[in-house]
Structure 1
Amino acid sequence: MSDLNKLTIAAARDGLKAGDFTSLDLTNACLTAIEGAGALNAFVHNTPDLARAQAAEADARLAAGDAPAMCGIPLGIKDLFCTKGVDTQAASRILEGFKPEYESTITDKLFAAGAVMLGKLNMDEFAMGSSNETSVYGTAVNPWKRSGDDSALTPGGSSGGSAAAVAADLCLAATGTDTGGSIRQPAAFTGTVGIKPTYGRCSRWGTVAFASSLDQAGPMTKTVRDSAIMLQAMCGFDAKDSTSANLEVPDFEAMLSGDIKGKVIGIPKEYRMEGMPAEIEKLWAEGTAMLKDAGAQIRDISLPHTKYALPAYYVIAPAEASSNLARYDGVRFGHRATLAAGDGIDDMYEKTRAEGFGPEVQRRVMIGTYVLSAGFYDAYYNKARRVRTLIKRDFETVFADGVDAILTPATPSAAFGLGEMKNADPVQMYLNDVFTVTVNLAGLPGVSVPAGLDAKGLPLGLQLIGKPWDEGDLLNIAHSLEARAGFVSKPAKWW
């Protein structure tokens, strides 16, 4: 079977257990697909030998009858997750040559479940970006193209390599991280499914930090069922992460009944942004109708502080980034600048960070340092934190009033062309996060589900936002939406 790489996790799991093929067969099919997909620039550190060794171990576990759901499943790992003995750069020059001596908790959990690592995936530098154009490896490319147009498109960011790899069937699924939409936006741009779980559901230990109070890992998959299977393997308490929640992890897949009769779905009026494309408005209305047809109750709701979410996010996230990235100083690990005679330690710090960080990271570090500085701390950072509390309270009020989930667009547009925003005001790029940042600020779970195509044949996604720790119910509603949307389109192979 030459198309094994096109399988879903669920189908591959069933085939492996039935003995229709082996994990090594699956892995080799994916490695062949990766070799032929250089034009996508999705995989940036390939680990074929490790993949085949892990596949052989998985096959032994399968033969012995000791096989969790993820056993033998080939994955791509975002370059933000530390992987023992394998380059981990966060797509930045400043971490060039860094090979951790430890596994992140997420990769450790996946490998313990028998998953196979094909390699590390491209991303925006330190997860700062919405288009994968800030990577030291160069841009990842969306496998989708506009009808009649050969222009290269962004796969979204920061998990752009993950989204491109899953959409192009280079792997069965991939890990992503989401600080302000970095799983959900690229999923929407590539016709894949991406879930950001509740803050604290997945350990952050061993994941290179961007903004510690916002970062959360999650799966990027081909279907909602696959997300449920993979998320269960990634979740769980970790004593090494002080923000990790000590809660039982339910069987998310078992909760996918598809029955959402009586569920109350909120439609927030504040997400009807001025200038929203008609196609996004239409898709949102269609998604609402689909959930209503499935038996859900639709309720108009208000989240009054939504309009302050983007500015609050772009104060809090850079402030935390400024603090987290202070450790990259040319002393402990990673890149160190070559110094001239007479240069002191301050020169080393300045030259190392100037050479090691790209323009977008430098911009955010400077913004973050500014808003944390004496005289501006209260005016910006503390005010943003107060706004964050109000945004969280908006959601709490709505959920306390009986709403089970909230339906919104995932992105304000379909995928845009690489380079199209290069000379634009950076704020134009930041506006890509307008529908997603509230979820991170409130620490809620959110999932992007592919729901249709725009007039140019590009995928569009809808976002569902759930109650804290209620990923199972959220995924079930997403499963129902997915079934009714019937999205089965794939990009035509050109790479």
Structure 2
Amino acid sequence: MSTLTIAEAATQIAARKISPVELAKTQLERIRRLDPQLDSFLLVTEERALADAKAAETRQTAGTLRGKLDGIPIAHKDIYNTAGIRTTAHSKLLEHNVPARDAHTVRKWADAGTVMLGKLATHEFAFGGPSFDLPWPPARNPWNREHFTAGSSSGTGAAIAAGLILGGTGSDTGGSIRGPAALCGIAGIKPTYGLSSRVGILPLAFSLDHAGPMAWTAEDCALLLQGMAGYDPEDPASVERPVADFTADLGRGVKGLRIGVVRHFFETDNRASDATRAGIDAALDFFRKEGAEVRDITLSPAADYHAVGYLLMVTEAYTLHAPWLRERFTDYGELFRDRVALAATVSGPDIVQATRRRRLLCHEMAVAMENLDIIVSASQAGEAPRIADVPKWANMEKPSFTMPFNVTGFPAISVCTGFGEGGLPVAMQLAGKPFSEPTLFRVAHAYEGATPWRNRRPAMCD
């Protein structure tokens, strides 16, 4: 039962073959057994989970299920506010913070009938990690607990890969959904900027922050995003438009689609591992065989996108945290405070230039995609490194593959493409035009259905 996908569990719940209560109890027992090795949960909400599950089971019996998320066990990244339930951002500063109100997306999932199992580890305020000087330890990678999960949606990535939850929330300011998805071997999508509300989610950098789902498969991410997306007048970035049916194109294959490959991102700008490049090449061969048109495209160097995005991210974060940094500097973990305090050296002209350059990069990518349906790149450079070896300035050493799509706000999904020499996952990234999520799910689902990677789970989870 613990290796069910959301789509499979929803089908069985609708057919009354499994009980939401029994499913929740199975997941809670799995958390008790496995999470002490992973530290993916900061808080397990067993009482809430069983109450949610019993309510779902009542609807199951009455034939009034609310949809495909009813009875599905999930958990939230601990920057998502949960009414009456501690929300800490994995930081000493909010160690005892109990919000009075749910985040908008937390409420939407609850209204869809999800079963909330708890709150998940993150990097401090979605930026400072992996840190060992916080009230809770960092999450570990279930493929090898000595290795990194990436961040900042670290607990969500680990908990899904280990089968502790069927899906969960993430946030993505520079890659914080797609990074953990890649290193933990799952699927995770950063939707189009403005598609999902950020109200009630502790911010990092407002112009770059995105809320999105993570799950074992692209299909499951589509189901979760269906329950998350939609206009919220309280979020000034929220886009008022009808929500697409994100599962409508699943099963259509890739025939006729036009795919661009930003090969220089992962072969020159930040050369990815042999396994990562081989996985992408095999995926491109599959797309060609299935009737897609595949061609290389050239954008500005990845370093240009990364420089713009990183400078804006740290300065926006510094703007939010400056009062606390002045009063409670040492209450932050070392990684967060040092990374964010760097922004105190940034000048006004620097920010203006970054904003100007950002507009040019957005235009460049829009023009490049005029005659394309998706573009392909890497999600991460290779397998997860050892967690003890991740340097303080790791996110400044080489350009990110994920930041270009935070800078532009275009949607992007990471999916597993196999395993490297160390037995840890590698991945590719698929990106599309704004609000083209159905096409991204179509392509990712076709690839996942044609490859064996979704049948392989971490050994610790057997």
Q: TM bucket by the smaller chain?
A: over 0.9
3-state SS of paired residue (2:460) = coil
How far 1:485 moved relative to its partner?
Answer: 2.9
How many aligned residue pairs are there? 457
- What is the letter of the counterpart of residue 356 of structure 1? D
Pairing 1:365–2:335 present: no
Q: 1:104 to 1:160 in 2, by over 3 A?
A: same
How far 1:464 moved relative to its partner?
Answer: 0.1
Residue 11 of structure 2 corresponds to which residue in structure 1?
A: 14
Pairing 1:377–2:345 present: no
**Conserved? CA contact 1:405–1:474, under 8 Å:** yes
Greater mean deviation of Cα atoms: 299-308 or 453-462: 299-308
Pairing 1:126–2:125 present: yes
3-state SS of paired residue (1:253) = coil
**Conserved? CA contact 1:128–1:134, under 8 Å:** no
3-state SS of paired residue (2:22) = helix
How far 1:254 moved relative to its partner?
Answer: 2.3
Pairing 1:257–2:251 present: yes
Q: Distance in 2 between matches of 1:123 and 1:264?
A: 36
How far 1:228 moved relative to its partner?
Answer: 0.7
- What is the letter of the counterpart of residue 224 of structure 1? A
Q: 1:16 to 1:70 in 2, by over 3 A?
A: same
Q: Distance in 2 between matches of 1:195 and 1:136?
A: 29
TM-score by length of 2: 0.95
How far 1:394 moved relative to its partner?
Answer: 1.7
Greater mean deviation of Cα atoms: 112-121 or 135-144: 135-144
Identity of aligned residues (%): 34
How far 1:293 moved relative to its partner?
Answer: 1.3
Q: Distance in 2 between matches of 1:11 and 1:433?
A: 38
Contiguous gaps of at least 5 residues in structure 1: 146-150, 330-348
Match of 1:354 among 318, 329, 341: 329
- What is the letter of the counterpart of residue 403 of structure 2? V
Residue 151 of structure 2 corresponds to which residue in structure 1?
A: 157
Q: Distance in 2 between matches of 1:322 and 1:229?
A: 35
- What is the letter of the counterpart of residue 49 of structure 2? A
Q: 1:87 to 1:179 in 2, by over 3 A?
A: same
**Conserved? CA contact 2:272–2:380, under 8 Å:** no
Match of 1:314 among 310, 315, 327: 310
Match of 1:45 among 29, 43, 51: 43
Residue 28 of structure 2 corresponds to which residue in structure 1?
A: 31
Greater mean deviation of Cα atoms: 8-17 or 60-69: 60-69
Residue 457 of structure 1 corresponds to which residue in structure 2?
A: 423
3-state SS of paired residue (1:396) = helix
- What is the letter of the counterpart of residue 360 of structure 2? L
Residue 277 of structure 1 corresponds to which residue in structure 2?
A: 273
How far 1:133 moved relative to its partner?
Answer: 5.8
Residue 193 of structure 1 corresponds to which residue in structure 2?
A: 187
Deviations 1:48-73 (A, max 9, x none): 00110111111122223222110010
How far 1:386 moved relative to its partner?
Answer: 1.7
Residue 340 of structure 1 corresponds to which residue in structure 2?
A: none
Residue 346 of structure 1 corresponds to which residue in structure 2?
A: none
Q: 1:388 to 1:134 in 2, by over 3 A?
A: farther
Deviations 1:427-481 (A, max 9, x none): 4344576100000000010000111111121111110011101101111011112
Q: Distance in 2 between matches of 1:431 and 1:461?
A: 20
**Conserved? CA contact 1:199–1:445, under 8 Å:** yes
Residue 434 of structure 2 corresponds to which residue in structure 1?
A: 468
Q: Distance in 2 between matches of 1:448 and 1:132?
A: 24
Q: Distance in 1 between matches of 2:135 and 2:201?
A: 18
- What is the letter of the counterpart of residue 37 of structure 2? A
How far 1:33 moved relative to its partner?
Answer: 0.5
How far 1:75 moved relative to its partner?
Answer: 0.3
Deviations 1:335-371 (A, max 9, x none): xxxxxxxxxxxxxx74x42232112221233222321
3-state SS of paired residue (1:217) = strand
Q: 1:134 to 1:179 in 2, by over 3 A?
A: farther
Q: 1:133 to 1:15 in 2, by over 3 A?
A: farther
How far 1:268 moved relative to its partner?
Answer: 1.4
Residue correspondence of structure 1 range 66-465 to structure 2 within 5 A? 66-67=64-65, 68-129=67-128, 131=130, 136-145=135-144, 152-271=146-265, 272-273=267-268, 275-326=271-322, 329=324, 350=326, 352-371=327-346, 376-378=347-349, 380-400=350-370, 402-421=371-390, 424=391, 426-431=392-397, 434-465=400-431
**Conserved? CA contact 1:130–1:430, under 8 Å:** no
- What is the letter of the counterpart of residue 442 of structure 2? N
3-state SS of paired residue (2:118) = strand
Larger radius of gyration: 1
Q: CA RMSD in A?
A: 1.7
Q: 1:132 to 1:414 in 2, by over 3 A?
A: farther
Q: 1:168 to 1:433 in 2, by over 3 A?
A: farther
How far 1:419 moved relative to its partner?
Answer: 0.8
- What is the letter of the counterpart of residue 383 of structure 1? Q
Q: Distance in 2 between matches of 1:205 and 1:134?
A: 29
Q: 1:86 to 1:415 in 2, by over 3 A?
A: same
3-state SS of paired residue (1:125) = coil
Q: 1:73 to 1:494 in 2, by over 3 A?
A: closer
Residue 493 of structure 1 corresponds to which residue in structure 2?
A: 460
Q: 1:54 to 1:86 in 2, by over 3 A?
A: same
Q: 1:284 to 1:234 in 2, by over 3 A?
A: same
Q: 1:134 to 1:472 in 2, by over 3 A?
A: farther
3-state SS of paired residue (1:6) = coil
How far 1:130 moved relative to its partner?
Answer: 6.3
- What is the letter of the counterpart of residue 108 of structure 1? R
Deviations 1:274-294 (A, max 9, x none): 543222222221121111112
How far 1:96 moved relative to its partner?
Answer: 1.4
Q: Distance in 2 between matches of 1:302 and 1:414?
A: 25
TM-score by length of 1: 0.89
Q: Distance in 2 between matches of 1:251 and 1:245?
A: 16
Greater mean deviation of Cα atoms: 131-140 or 30-39: 131-140
